[in-house]
Chains A and B, each alone.
Chain A
């Protein structure tokens, strides 16, 4: 099946041809610093639900671990193979069935919206659009399931624009780790690197695929672990849900496409977090996004648990987990966070394998994905930086008798950049949208409910001159002049 070509100068041209049978997938895992080019020679193939165009070369990098699946069979030309194999056992048929079931919900919801006659339909069927919560333990492929289901929906040619929601703060969606966000998806999400698994937020560069210019709504949680501040996460999830609801009210046709929510694995794992916390957050999601389907990816016990909790209200379905899912260790996740931040600021650059000349990265010509952030020096006073909740609380017993604790988990605390213990250097800041211009509409904890408009990194602090250097994604003004600190650092 493989044929290595001998170059004139003696170097090996690592091009392999793979012929895939129907309903099989080619899986690969890249090592740090290597890249992979895949060309669909003929047939039909898709990467996590996004179809590949025949004859185009697609690049993958940054330790990407992905799979090319084919429903009908195809031939792939692959340069620079890494860890790779072909699998005949995929859960794709099940995922496709789920997709079809969701499509039925969408077309019914649309029919109700248009008021068309119900002649061709079961009158008892659920006419709500699918609003799906995807739960599963670590390394079960939740994000991939969300991506496939979203991609299939936008590929239906019905102008669906499902809202993809990421409430996994360790992943960050289209923003950076520490954020939770939502974005309407209109074109298939391509896969090229783990830095932007769900497509990419808008840049000033022109893009061919709208999934590379997404408009997310983002809130800053600031930590990777959900247990760090579950109250805050709960509140942010509800904010997100409320705004999606408002958007749906403005756009009934968009509402019909439904919502797909990707969750952190801590929602599923019974170890570590107390079940109360977990259930509170799952309930927050169910309420906020008006969930009517829960998909549990490959976890029997969780499925039973969810059945018990929600089975009387709506559908809970278990779906199989893909055998291609890779166990990801801590250091890998750490590296992916770095890729993500780097990609947020500097865009995406994947060096093609030596013998590949023109290729696409995530469905775009690769030249335009490089971004230039802006580094600038600002006075301390030009940016108010807050931390939500106190970093460490003194035990209540240490407080004077009769004094109540003044700091709560939800209280914004102003950070003094001049203080050496501020921990600001190299930290990631979430720049917030401006406060409500109407003074009378302001309230105490408004800062908790402001969405994020971008991210900054403090690269230097000059305490004597009360100045600091920040790296911003663009040269625009720091709109709200208020930023939140989390627990993420980044150094180039």
Chain B
């Protein structure tokens, strides 16, 4: 509950800025820190991410609420975290660096997702991941400072791809359990045996991370590592670790960076997506190979479709249906090959059973009924909803729903757009703008009625709005009002009961993109708006695609 309220504050301040940011500035420090103390880890990390975006979020590229507030909040969060190594106040804490590192890393990863062939981004991601391991292992104050400054310059470098990045995969709900650390890099030991070149600390490939910056007090404490020993170990590679470039080159020389072909330290969601991209080629090859092998074995059976062959020959069916497919699902008897591809398919299949069982257990006591058959067009274009095929428990229906929802939205949108208001005589030349999106309303001459009209317009309380903007605002009004009320009550009474606790992960896909530099995204919105006049983009799709929560438009209107 708190996080969405913060995101609202965030969106209002970033997108409108004046006068909200000014009004929020006085209490944002107290509010942020107080909330930070109360919420759980996942929310904290989200808040940290948001905080980092505030650094450059004002229209002039400065701190959103002013440098003083920003620093105070940052100090309040990371400075007071005395558990972490070197967490003496005034100094840079490991947690802070880690948090920023994660932030930059996720930025880069998103850029990478948007453009998988961006080798610079790829390199950055790898380096950052290695860097994170180093920092986790513990580094000196000096290095922390260098890393930090380097990071900031890196994260502020222009990132056009980020704004256009696709919405985050829905599967990225943080699962805290999956946050595992690789085995502690064996630096101290290396230091002791520094006559040998240090072995490459290859992370175990199975290690998975969530892509969320987890604050340090949730991390298994790194074994006490003397930074000096690390330093010496790094030194033993020959490169002086005094500058960050040197550190990079040290990493490179140590073979860490290039040795890991697939970034093992990527976030769980990112990793799966990355590997999906990276291995799409190889999995395609695998399935091609499998198909080829199958073709060979089928064609090697010498059977013609003739009465004699059919009745007289002995079929080698056991091989095709059983021996070739030794792995069997215990639940339903479906079989798979035992090669990589088959294992993958079987995993997917078992996942399907799991989901289906869970759904069934949730559904107990709820009545079911036969569905209508699908529309002809849906049937004809149904194609292969699920390529893996085995058991699409909800596949076809949900896509249909999506299709119908999208169609409905499109229809509603089209209807809205046909609304118009006749321009009062004499006002034809007067530009009128929609109070919500600030765009001018287009005038058009209707041949049939022989009148000038404002297209896509609706009149409410003597004001003329874009019909689409108004409908959107009305639909989000209700939810927003509720949120505001909750926000108010939680602010007025500091000891807020737990019932207001957030369950934030679900809101990820919408909120993530607000991390992008705000002025850009605002411009993107306006541009999109302009485009809307040309295409009929369903409003829901529109909102998702530019990543702006619907509340933003209302905020603009308020």
Contact = CB atoms under 8 A, between A and B. Distances in A.
B373 A201 contact: yes
Nearest to A121: B299
Contacts of B376: 217, 243, 433, 451
A254 B385 CA distance: 11
B206 to A, nearest CB: 27
B367 interface: yes
B379 A243 contact: yes
A116 interface: yes
A213 B316 CA distance: 32
B112 to A, nearest CB: 30
A71 to B, nearest CB: 5
Interface stretch (A91-99, A332-340, A350-358): A91-99
Interface stretch (A1-9, A180-188, A378-386, A394-402): A180-188
Interface string B329-342: 11111111100001
Interface string B387-417: 1111111111100000000000000000000
A438 to B, nearest CB: 13
B380 A474 contact: no
Contacts of B381: 247, 250
Q: Which of A107, A110, A175 gathers most chain B CB within 10 Å?
A: A107
Interface in B357-379: 359-360, 363-364, 367-376, 379
Interface in B205-250: none
Q: Which of B352, B364, B371 gathers most chain A CB within 10 Å?
A: B371
Interface string B305-323: 1110111011111101110
A479 interface: yes
Nearest to A254: B384
Contacts of B306: 315, 317
Interface stretch (B35-43, B178-186, B289-297): B289-297
A208 B393 contact: yes
A216 interface: yes
A100 interface: yes
Contacts of A97: 303, 309-311, 313, 315
B303 to A, nearest CB: 5
A208 B369 contact: no
A71 B321 contact: yes
Contact of B383 (A111, A154, A254, A452): A254
A101 interface: yes
B390 A186 contact: yes
A155 B317 CA distance: 12
A187 B389 contact: yes
B321 A208 contact: no
Contacts of A201: 370-371, 373
B369 A204 contact: yes
Interface string B341-361: 010010000001101100110
Give the size range of A's interface with the partner: 35 or more
27 contacts: A51-B328, A53-B329, A53-B333, A71-B317, A71-B318, A71-B321, A93-B317, A100-B316, A103-B298, A103-B320, A107-B294, A152-B321, A156-B294, A159-B389, A184-B382, A188-B333, A205-B360, A208-B331, A210-B390, A213-B392, A217-B373, A218-B373, A251-B384, A318-B307, A372-B369, A453-B373, A454-B372
Contact of A101 (B303, B330, B368, B380): B303
A24 interface: no
Interface of A: 44, 50-56, 71-72, 93-94, 96-101, 103-104, 107-108, 110-111, 114, 116, 120-121, 152, 154-159, 161, 175, 184, 186-188, 201-210, 213, 215-218, 243, 246-247, 250-251, 253-254, 293, 315, 317-320, 344-345, 347, 363, 365, 367-368, 370-374, 431, 433, 451-454, 473-476, 479
Given A107-B291, A157-B335, A317-B305, A207 B368 contact: no
Contact of B368 (A317, A319, A347): A347
A107 B298 contact: yes
A309 B207 CA distance: 65
B177 interface: no
B379 A215 contact: yes
A346 to B, nearest CB: 9
Given A71-B318, A317-B310, A161 B382 contact: no
B421 interface: no
B491 interface: no
A210 B370 contact: no
B253 interface: no
Given A97-B315, A188-B333, A452-B373, 14 more contacts: A93-B315, A97-B303, A100-B315, A104-B303, A108-B299, A110-B291, A116-B288, A159-B387, A203-B370, A205-B363, A207-B393, A216-B373, A243-B380, A254-B383
A76 B310 CA distance: 29
B342 A157 contact: yes
B256 interface: no
B315 to A, nearest CB: 4
A97 to B, nearest CB: 5
A412 to B, nearest CB: 18
Contacts of B368: 203-205, 347, 368, 370-372
A161 B257 CA distance: 45
B301 interface: yes
B304 interface: yes
Given A213-B392, A374-B369, A100 B298 contact: yes
